[in-house]
């Protein structure tokens, strides 16, 4: 059994490291593009070693896929929620589109 470290369980630390790598990946991709994104740069931005990267992802492509899946899930959930507030089809479409544009422009890294 793994003991907590500073009151944080091993599973929580693992989840925190994964979240840090995903956030760092989003930043590095936004700054360098996908072709210029390296595992080393993601780890440096997250403040973690490559060991932790490989604990969560087999390759940078797997990180890219994870980022894409998360963004798609967020866009779908937000646009569907925004449409529920309207009955008219035109209003629903406008609300969803407005939500997507806002989501992407609030954090420009998402659009990149």
Higher pLDDT among residues 108 and 1, named by residue: 108
Q: Which of 107, 19, 106 is nearest to 63 (CA)?
A: 19
Q: Which of 92, 34, 106, 31 is nearest to 68 (CA)?
A: 34
Confidence of residue 111 (pLDDT cuts 50, 70, 90): confident
Residue 1 has pLDDT above 60, yes or no: no
What percentage of the chain has pLDDT greater than the value 90? 82
User: In the block, which residue shows the tokens 């449409």?
Assistant: 83
d(CA 41, CA 45): 6
Two tokens at 57? 């992802």
DSSP output for 19-64: HHHHHHHHHHHHHHTTTT--HHHHHHHHT--HHHHHHH-SSHHHHH
Q: Which of 90, 28, 99 is nearest to 63 (CA)?
A: 28
pLDDT (0 to 100) of residue 46: 97
User: Are 43 and 56 within 8 A, CB to CB?
Assistant: no
Dump pLDDT digits (tens) for 62-75.
999 999 999 999 99
Dump pLDDT digits (tens) for 28-58.
999 999 999 999 999 999 999 999 999 999 9
Mean pLDDT, the chain, whole residue set: 92
């Amino acid at each position: 059994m793994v003991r907590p470290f500073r009151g944080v369980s091993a599973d929580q630390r693992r989840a925190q490291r994964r979240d840090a790598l995903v956030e760092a990946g989003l930043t590095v991709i936004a700054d360098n593009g996908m072709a210029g994104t390296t595992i080393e740069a993601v780890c440096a931005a997250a403040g973690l070693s490559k060991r932790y990267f490989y604990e969560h992802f087999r390759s940078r492509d797997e990180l890219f896929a994870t980022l894409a899946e998360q963004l798609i899930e967020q866009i779908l959930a937000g646009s569907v929620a925004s449409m529920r507030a309207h009955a008219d089809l035109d209003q629903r479409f406008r609300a969803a589109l407005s939500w997507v544009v806002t989501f992407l422009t609030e954090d420009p890294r998402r659009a990149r």
